[in-house]
Chain A
């Protein structure tokens, strides 16, 4: 097997808890907020992109090693298994802002709101179907080709959100964020079952056993059939602004300081669902058939039935087997729920040399070290990642955070994030899998987040 590097789609271990970046509050509505407010630069306040694949990298296929290209593809296919997956996630803040309603330090209410657009594509690798395509059923008698491995989903949606963050006292901050989802287009085939097998037959050489239970649910795809591109685009714009299939959800989170040096925080994101009722088209393939060939019936000898009749029957049976039922029944899908949690230790306050006391201009801790856990529900498994992080405040205007992340596949994911403030403008950029950036082709995952905000600082910060 090749070297595996995990896909970290949607794990934003660098942004989580990075309190100088306003968008951290989207990961934990109960995060600690150190500024009075912010306005995200429209369309530029949060750009997130992540694409990844497990099981192989572009280098495995495109390495300039003189090996036959087809053979390399074949090797990749045979090295992967049905647990490998491909994922793509993209988020774009359309607008976002936050403001403090009460400015008393000990008790403040921070309201944040905005709208972002998100795309998510996720697919497991249907290994059995790939083998069937490569080899056919020859030399694979009795092998059960599992159709359940077919598991694909894709969605584009917009999310409007409003969050309330309340600092209860110096130890506790809690928050909740309500979300309205508007699904622009969605397609998923994640509940498949069944198999195809060829076994030795009783009456003929072989017996083919088709056991099909495949479903595809789609909504919002009719714009693809729209002959006029402009009208199609108009439909999409309308859906972006609550014209799509709607859903609701909430995020919950808290930050706790059992002691000034210690921080424990956690959040649950996207506890919610979308009800797909508009522009729905579902397809189902459901049937069972054992087929042992065409029996030649000699009409003069037995009955009036000819082999033609028999063939017609067989054709009908196959047509029925592969008949696709189409419905427009509404369906509901849960959003992929995400958990973030971290524990960290803060240390190193600035000292003023002249008086040998704490620097009053910046009383905050300059360093933070901790561990962060991320988990996300995927159709067939729980995707998880564990990170160690170190945060360092260089000056008021420059903060860095570095992470080292391990998960089921990778033990070499180093990430770096930076937040810089110039006057009221705050800029951040974060990327992980930096070790792979020496040769991007070897990377199986590319992740980048960046954004610009206009920040209203705290008077004391």
Chain B
């Protein structure tokens, strides 16, 4: 696949197809990130579109100093934060994990409940901790990339991530679940 910066240059020279290639390349990453921030499919779809509209609108201002991916995540982080602030007071319900229509063993059921608990715990973490965990653990961004996406220092990312993971571990152990050996 073509280099992001080359695609951006092509778009700035009038090739609209180049920016569509960029959207296609990152749409699943951005959707996954905003879904984990909202826990709602429809909201995630709308926000994903909003992120790309903002990105295409602002692409001429992208200075190519950081990677396009990090810049895109930064837009996604800000869009998610603004969305959460607009909807503050409204607790988006965590969608139930899909229960397959088959007999479930007791250990499977316990594992599923524990995962639901972890997901719920993640949704209730302070915003910055949640973003740090989602970007690091789910999206696989490095500390540096996460810091650029969140607009803070690497030290701050490490602190947010560490405190968030610590809190999630407390939630699981307080509920009486054990981690897999």
A, B from the same assembly: no
- Listed in ascending order, the chain B residues whose CB lies under 8 Å from chain A are none
- Listed in ascending order, the chain A residues whose CB lies under 8 Å from chain B are none
